[in-house]
Structure 1
Amino acid sequence: MRIPARRTVGDVFAGLGALVVLVALVGGVPYALLSFVGPPIAAELLDVDLLFNQVGPSTIVAVLVLLVWLAWLQLFACVVVEVYAGVRRVGMPARVPLSSGTQALANRLVSAVLLLFTAGAVAVPIARLGTPAPAAPPMTAVAYSAPVVEQVLETQRTKKVYVVQPPHGRHHESLWEIAEKCLGDGRRYPEIFRLNQHKEQPDGARLRMADLIRPGWVLDMPDDARNVHAVPVTQARAQTLREHPGKAATTGRVADKAEQTVKEELGKRQRGQEGESRRGAGDTKAEPGTGRATDESRAADQGGLDLVDYLAGASLAAAGLLAALGRRRREQLWRRAFGRRVVRPRDDAASAEVALRLGADAPGTRILDVGLRLLGTELAAQGRTPPIVYAAHLSARNLDLWIHPPDGDAPAPWTVQDGGQVWRLHAHEGRLLTESPQGGAPYPGLVSLGTDAGGRVLVDLEAAQGLINIRGRQTTAALAALAVELATNRWSDRMRITLVGFGEELTAIAPDRVRAVGGLAEVLPELEATAAPRQQVLTGRVTGSPRVAHYLLSSVTPTHDEARRLALLARRDTAGYVVAGDVPHATWTLEITDDGKAKIAELGFEVTAQLLPRRHYQALVDLFRTAGRHDGEPMSQVRPLEDLHPPEVEIRLLGPVEISGLDPLEEGRMGLAAEMLVYLATHPGGVHPAVLGGVLWPRGVQAMVRDATIARVADWVGPEHLLVDDAGRLSLGPRVRTDWTLFRELVRRAERDPTARILLLEKALGLVRGPLLSGRPHGRYAWLAADDLEYDVSAGVADAARRLCEMRLEQGAPEAAVSAVRAALLLAADDEALWRDLLRATHATGDPARLHAVVDALTGPPRFGAYGGGLAPETEALIDELLPTWRIHVVRESTA
């Protein structure tokens, strides 16, 4: 595909003028020198006696002439390098030593001249981004005319796959049977096993044993297999399952009906009802844009795709948003009233948090943060300026930085790839790095552009060294995604983001970083007054004197004068400028296609775009507004529990998940089965299989996989413990109980029996073993974000501990009060009201050393490291009262 050039009359005159200047400099200067002053080296300079005799005027003139010739030779070399790079499209031109200013002049002159004779600038696309580290990483020239982009077409490769079919009655498929059917010989089943061993399947499990396969798995097959499906080699297994369900029922994001298999296993005769679509999917039409953006339209919502499709896919932004949300929740806990819980999100806001929990890549954000800060620290220690990083690629194996110019000296643990064009940090090395608060953030402008087959592609908005023009019908969705990730990422320090044409909504997410204005005219004078050179800014970020990073994202097309001022400003300032509309003089052009692709022609990037359509960022705004409410809401009603005797099956939630009273389940199936039982146990009113499928597989699942899983769990727990009513809803029997149910019953009885209150509360707190469902795998239990359970548990446990602490202090038993609070802190470690009670109880013991230890634990960096932020004013005031010298102690440690 070739992108048309944008050539204006001004460009033509500029090119002609640049041509005249080039001819004068390259040809006119040497001609004049030869005509009037002679060759570069005069005869006087060749005389050996010059070293011993007095220097006369003729010698000084000869030296000056030589210097002029050398300056011309430097300019000529720069012109040759720039012309070669522009005509041959070799990417970023080589750097001529000691010629930064001269080469910049040559770049501008040559780019203007080439615009007269070519359709574009001097950049060429990089290799495909399908692998985590390209053999030849992208290089780009900072040119100011439209680029020529050439698309390399490749023959699409295919592979053969087989979709494991659902059971027929009690008969399940085996690898032997599949080998016999597809390869003609069952004894060839080890070939299928080796091809698929340890590969992740659509339900999240992996093939570990040859005799343990599940319906809905997609198995890679040998090339000579028959009765199989041919699919592209890059196609995800989940997509294959949706496109080739075989004999299965209709596939969808959740099951469409309760299959006969489930009904047989549960011993019921009623027919399954038609399942409902996954909650929230497609129930709202895409809303129109704000009206301020020039290119936004109803197409932005991509046909009603669910929140999960966008928010869970933005893994780095999701991790940053969850961290920011955690800080808000801590502030809610500061003001939570006794007997009430913090306000939980609902509707789209709750679905948004579910999606964030599903997609958040906390390890990836940590590697970016710690790895980049360590890189800056090491370079500063060597007295080096950080290189220009114009893009990065983050995968499960590596973090790659694509730099210019190439540099073969990367500080450890970074390694050099492709001749110094790529600096790589292996993921296993990144996980071993320790966080260092002293290191500055050298590249705060790195932001996700989208994803490719190998991972996530990021670009540095500052590396463009000029305007970034964004085009397409989904510009506002793309700009909103950029803004949200920039405002919440970990790998930056102080930052300002100016949004033009968005309204005030997004400022609710990060009011300390984001501001919204109505037009460019409001901010241009300020930007022009605070511009700073890039090298100075990069050096300051790693040496301890950073400048506040600033990024301008405009969904409003600038006027001609505003575009000119922005172009001049962007070339001399380190800030990032992303502007919508058809803007001349842009260094990069980011095109968002109608099918959701993001392309930067100058870099050769084409990835699946990271977008945040209006409905989705409105859901985020509602989520953060809910987290800003401090009024609280009542906790769920407690159902009386008549029998306190031990149940036949107990599900323990107040700590790591434990299920007692059942036989062990085979490896790899326990996690999903336990989550199903936890959900059913905490929803005693019953859950339809279709709803259960949407909860356990929020990204979608095939009906046969869901029904086979339910049938397997029914076999495991037995028909007396897993019941189904006439409407098809599943529920657990009366002899199954959770420790949370017992906790609430003990607290309820304590409120009604003052004589046994202390004993009952202590017994209730004795059930707490750690954080709610601690140790749960990533991606599971995301439904907690939209459920009462998490909010009720944290409030209920904290209130019980505070009540018991107060009673024990009144009795003069501070040790027992400390034990009560510490039991609750195992689960609700972020509730500062509990920490204040712990401070009071510890102070009552009369042991200063223990009080010091509590203060150190509360004020130390690891205490709220996951969410950041400081202590509540009430907590600091209490510490001042109980331990007036604590601030001196903290200062000494921080300066040690």
Structure 2
Amino acid sequence: MPKGRGRAARTGRARTPPATRHPPSAPPRAVPDTVPDSGRQDPGQVERRDPVAVDPTDSADSGQDAGLGTLDYLAGASLAAAGLLAALGRRRRRQLWHRAFGRRITRPRDDAAQAELALRLGADAPGSRMLDIGLRLLGRSLAAENRVPPTIYAAHLSPQTLDLWIHPPDPDAPAPWTAHDGGQVWRLPAHEGRMIDERALADAPAPYPGLVSLGSNGEGRVLVDLEAAHGPISISGPQATAALAALAVELATNRWSDRMRVTLVGFGEELTVIASDRIRYVGSLAEILPELEAGAGGRGAHGGEVLTGRIHGRAADPVCAPHYLLSAIAPTPEEGRRLALLARKGVRTAAGYVIAGEVPHATWNWTITQEGRAEVDALGFDVAAQLLPRRQYRALIDLFLATERLEGEPLSDEPEPVTDTPSVEVRVLGPAEVVGPPPMEEGRAVIAVEMAVYLATHPGGVHPVVLGGILWPRGVQPVVRDATIARVVAWMGTDSQGRPNLYADESGRLRFGPEVRSDWMLFRDLVRRSHAEPAGRPALLDRALSLVRGPLLNGRPRGRYAWLAADDLEYNVTASVADAAHRLCEVRLARGETDQAVAAVRAGLLLAADDEGLWRDLLRATHLTADPVRLRAVVDALHRRAASHPYGGGMAPETEALIDELLPSWRMRSAPTA
């Protein structure tokens, strides 16, 4: 493949966006069949390091890291953030399998909580979905036409389009893809991607699992296909290890791959906590090279076999199953020669190798500069690199380690004064609503409602400067913050005594007055009263659960309410609602009121739908109605939900065991038919 476009490629000047540039006209160059032994190490090659001494995040980026926070890196890695949130959701769901009554699942703290905030803020779930189902649809369409899929060596994902840079050029792109630039680019518009039926592609294989983000050009994400290099990729520069860590995290969690292996050499042993099914760690290249060589010997002779095998669903074929190697340890001359020989045919295999340092006969050379630029001369790229430096890497690992704590934490129970005659009510147990003030114009209502929600769920008050950082995590001008606060103060109006419903106290903290109430505040008060009043417990718990209208802050706009990640609210609400429903179910069953018990559990599931303890309560209560049709309907609904849950994970073993006990025939009926 020709080198980059002259001086601009070397100096980092602004260049034509990948979405509109003409891609290089030749495929990646192949390594010669015979690779000479380089003998002594090249003086420019990175010195071989002991794997124990290699910190995957200990790059020469400390100066830049000090000036940029967690948000700048993790929120900027939009596709990786989407994959990480999905993986985190699966781990949290398993935590809920073990949640005990009166406890909540463990919340991450400090930097780990900030890491989750950044992930929520930056995750591009729609983009990840479009990349995933767009590629799967492409593979299925090509398979239906018995065509060999083209080599995709790079992609550009923006809010408007997904562009694939292909070789050789082909003007015949299957609909809804369209060909551009003489067939060098295949494009899927975002509106077409949103119309694709995801369920219809549930069994479609992933044809290009090696696509991974290199960085951003300001208009979208630039991805490269590790397999398209047809050989080793050298990665060097002051921030090479931070770039390797980012590559590893995205490969471990992306949704546009199926079965794959990622082997990390000399770094990232901790990443197995994120995706143990995909990632493994070895201490040296010497440990993994024999396996790579044995695997290469059994692969097909031409690259079309890999892609055609995938699109026709032969994922179990070793020719098609991808294996990617990321090494923070530079190879010895002999190891470099062996790596180059893995690609001696110069064709696609289901493998990719990204190696730190100067690698003899590397097909691509990536340079990650001190300023955080990723330069790939062979492809003509110069983009803002996707990086995961030391502090952010550690915070991410701590975030996932918190999900391994299955014992949970005690629920907090701090009494709060509750008014019976509110002039303003802030509702969070379902879609966010503010009842009482007059309607606000739509463009300003979103931030105003979020401010009201935060203040109503933090009755101790908050300083305006702190509130600004919470509601505008990427920063806001003081004049904008103060104008917004003044607008919300006016919107909230006054109470029955003429006092402002929102005011600043003597310490300067913003807080609500005594006639502002939240449904969460009332819920907690009713539950507390139910403890002290056994005779009135059913009525009080019924009233509390009647406040639940759906998931917490359901339908909140994308990118808003990111502060929930570092707050107790989400954890306390979910556990408290589930506990209240469980307690009321037990009271109703003790009185022989099975239908009311079922209704109590269903009220709790409106908000705490992932709490498996509640589902087991529903199974028991429905079983006691002595209506096998109702029980079968609950079992079928639970089975469908587990199979299609966005975070996956199936059902808790205790739930499956209970179904086996109450309805032994369920497995036979739910088993797929031939």
Q: Which residue of 2 aligns with 1:783?
A: 563
* Paired residue type of 1:292: V
CA shift, 1:126, in A, is 14
Of 555-564 and 511-520, the range deviating more from structure 2:
511-520
Q: Which residue of 2 aligns with 1:155?
A: none
Q: Which residue of 1 aligns with 2:520?
A: 740
Q: Which residue of 2 aligns with 1:772?
A: 552
Deviations 1:548-600 (A, max 9, x none): 31110011100000000011114454301000111120100111111111111
CA shift, 1:540, in A, is 2.0
CA shift, 1:385, in A, is 2.2
Q: Distance in 2 between matches of 1:614 and 1:431?
A: 36
Q: Does 1:456 align with 2:209?
A: no
Q: Which residue of 1 aligns with 2:467?
A: 692
Which has the larger Rg?
Answer: 1
Whether the 8 Å contact between 1:127 and 1:137 is mirrored in structure 2 is: no
2:125 to 355, 359, 362: 362
1:135-150 superposed matches below 5 A = 135-143=21-29
Q: Which residue of 2 aligns with 1:393?
A: 156
Q: Distance in 2 between matches of 1:841 and 1:317?
A: 42
Deviations 1:436-461 (A, max 9, x none): 22100101111111111321111000
Q: Does 1:856 align with 2:653?
A: no
Q: Which residue of 1 aligns with 2:140?
A: 377
Whether the 8 Å contact between 1:469 and 1:579 is mirrored in structure 2 is: yes
1:122-521 superposed matches below 5 A = 130-131=16-17, 133-143=19-29, 291-292=53-54, 296-299=59-62, 301-435=64-198, 436-521=201-286
State TM-score, norm by structure 1.
0.68
Q: Which residue of 1 aligns with 2:445?
A: 670
Deviations 1:210-246 (A, max 9, x none): xxxxxxxxxxxxxxxxxxxxxxxxxxxxxxxxxxxxx
2:397 to 592, 596, 621: 621
Q: 1:347 to 1:878 in 2, by over 3 A?
A: same
Q: Distance in 1 between matches of 2:572 and 2:77?
A: 29
* Paired residue type of 1:514: I
Q: Does 1:594 align with 2:364?
A: no
Whether the 8 Å contact between 2:321 and 2:350 is mirrored in structure 1 is: no
Q: Does 1:810 align with 2:585?
A: no
* Identical amino acids, percent of aligned pairs: 64
User: 5+ residue gaps in structure 1?
Assistant: 1-84, 92-118, 147-288
* Paired residue type of 1:361: D
2:477 to 702, 707, 713: 702
The one of the two structures with greater contact order (alpha-carbon pairs below 8 A, sep at least 6) is 2
Whether the 8 Å contact between 1:391 and 1:458 is mirrored in structure 2 is: yes
State TM-score, norm by structure 2.
0.90
Q: 1:504 to 1:145 in 2, by over 3 A?
A: closer
Q: Does 1:576 align with 2:349?
A: no
Q: Which residue of 2 aligns with 1:542?
A: 311
Q: Which residue of 1 aligns with 2:665?
A: 885
Q: Which residue of 2 aligns with 1:872?
A: 652
Q: Distance in 1 between matches of 2:422 and 2:4?
A: 73
* SS of corresponding position for 2:522: helix
Q: Does 1:660 align with 2:660?
A: no
Q: Distance in 2 between matches of 1:459 and 1:765?
A: 50
Q: Which residue of 2 aligns with 1:176?
A: none
CA shift, 1:515, in A, is 1.1
* SS of corresponding position for 1:498: strand
CA shift, 1:402, in A, is 0.7
Q: 1:429 to 1:129 in 2, by over 3 A?
A: farther
Whether the 8 Å contact between 1:144 and 1:586 is mirrored in structure 2 is: no
* Paired residue type of 2:339: L
Question: Cα RMSD over matched residues?
Answer: 2.4
Whether the 8 Å contact between 1:301 and 1:614 is mirrored in structure 2 is: no
Q: Distance in 2 between matches of 1:782 and 1:296?
A: 29
Q: Does 1:632 align with 2:394?
A: no
CA shift, 1:646, in A, is 3.1
Q: In the comparison of the two structures, how many residue pairs are matched?
A: 635
Q: Which residue of 2 aligns with 1:180?
A: none
Whether the 8 Å contact between 1:301 and 1:615 is mirrored in structure 2 is: no
Q: Distance in 2 between matches of 1:812 and 1:545?
A: 55
Q: Distance in 2 between matches of 1:829 and 1:853?
A: 17
Q: Does 1:566 align with 2:566?
A: no
* Paired residue type of 1:802: H
Whether the 8 Å contact between 1:126 and 1:138 is mirrored in structure 2 is: no
Q: Distance in 2 between matches of 1:300 and 1:856?
A: 56
Whether the 8 Å contact between 2:205 and 2:313 is mirrored in structure 1 is: yes
Q: Distance in 2 between matches of 1:661 and 1:566?
A: 69
CA shift, 1:742, in A, is 0.4
Whether the 8 Å contact between 1:469 and 1:582 is mirrored in structure 2 is: yes
* SS of corresponding position for 1:669: helix
Whether the 8 Å contact between 2:273 and 2:397 is mirrored in structure 1 is: yes
CA shift, 1:302, in A, is 3.2
